Amino acid sequence: MVIYKFVKKMIKNTKIKICFTSLFLLFSLFSYAGPPFNTDDPVPVDYKHWEFYVASINTLQSHNRSGTSPHFEMNYGVVPNMQLHLLLPLNYSYTKGEGVTFGYSNIEVGIKYRFLQETEHRPQIGIFPIVEIPTIHNDAFGNSNAQIYLPVWIQKSWDKLTMYGGGGYWINTGKGNKDWIFSGCEVQYDFSKHFTLGGEIYYQIANSPDSQSALGFNIGGLINFSDQFHFIYSVGHSMIHEHYFSTYVGFLVTI
């Protein structure tokens, strides 16, 4: 768990501590995910095609459960090599002895643009700027300030093996915050047209003067029921500082 040191020293109320913890984990782990991983790729949705996700992301700790239940994501190939992105999350937080809190705060919009095509000897490269826009004032699941993410993603494939990664810069507005950087790398293999398995490792620097960096991994993949219907999943764990276990479970429809 990444949590401000002054909160540890000055706040002794368990419910308030958990609120700060859940807010940071929701923002730092969920807002830039490339389903079902944190690391994204430069591949946009095909021109005039759609992607629809219904999914749940969860962070599990000994004293708290938090995540989305669910979130809805839509991507549309508006022109060749470019997609529009929209994500609407319903957040939750469960604390032993305190019950469950549900809430909505931010809407996520973005544009993915691939400006370099992959060839036999070079990777494809794209950008995916994202804006987190506060739409409902909710201190439990947002800080009422817009956040901007400016990443660059690179991908190269060799037959059934694919590797992608990169990272970006978060403009983290709000009192007590500081800008931060995320980076990650993912490798996956297509065992068949129905089953893909992969894994990622990611790292992010602290997002305030009193917080800590985070390092973690996820293992997951894709099960294709057909060309239109897909099941996606991942499980992961932190590797430094406070321990947390993370999961992603979702359904994807491509049209």
Residue 119 has pLDDT above 90, yes or no: yes
Q: How many CA atoms lie within 13 A of 174 on its CB side?
A: 21
User: How long is the chain?
Assistant: 255
User: Which residue's entry shows tokens 């990169």?
Assistant: 166
**∠ at Cα 122 (227, 149), nearest 5°?**
70
The predicted model gives 160-173 an average pLDDT of 95
Does residue 64 or residue 4 have the better pLDDT? 64
Quote the tokens at residue 176.
């007590």
pTM of the model: 0.85
Q: What pLDDT was estimated at residue 140?
A: 67
Does residue 29 or residue 193 have the better pLDDT? 193
Instruction: Pick the range with the lowest mean pLDDT from 14-28, 61-75, 163-177, 193-207.
Output: 14-28
Instruction: Pick the range with the lowest mean pLDDT from 82-86, 93-97, 122-126, 228-232.
Output: 93-97
Q: Report d(CA 107, CA 87) in Å as an integer.
A: 6
pLDDT tens digits along 228-250: 999 999 999 999 987 889 999 99
- Paired with 55 in beta bridges are 71, 250
Phi-psi region for residue 241, left (φ > 0), alpha (ψ -120 to 50) or beta?
A: left
What average pLDDT is seen over the chain? 86
- The domain spans of the chain are 5-254
pLDDT band with cut points at 50, 70 and 90 for residue 33: low
Residue 178 has pLDDT above 50, yes or no: yes
CATH superfamily of 5-254: monomeric porin ompg (2.40.160.40)
**Residue whose C-alpha is closest to residue 127's, from 116, 108, 113, 147:** 113
The predicted model gives 15-38 an average pLDDT of 55
pLDDT band with cut points at 50, 70 and 90 for residue 143: confident
Q: Report d(CA 139, CA 148) in Å as an integer.
A: 19
Residue 81 has pLDDT above 90, yes or no: yes
pLDDT band with cut points at 50, 70 and 90 for residue 13: very low
pLDDT tens digits along 203-233: 999 888 887 888 999 999 999 999 999 999 9
**Contact indicator for 135, 18 with CB cutoff of 8 Å:** no
The predicted model gives 177-184 an average pLDDT of 93
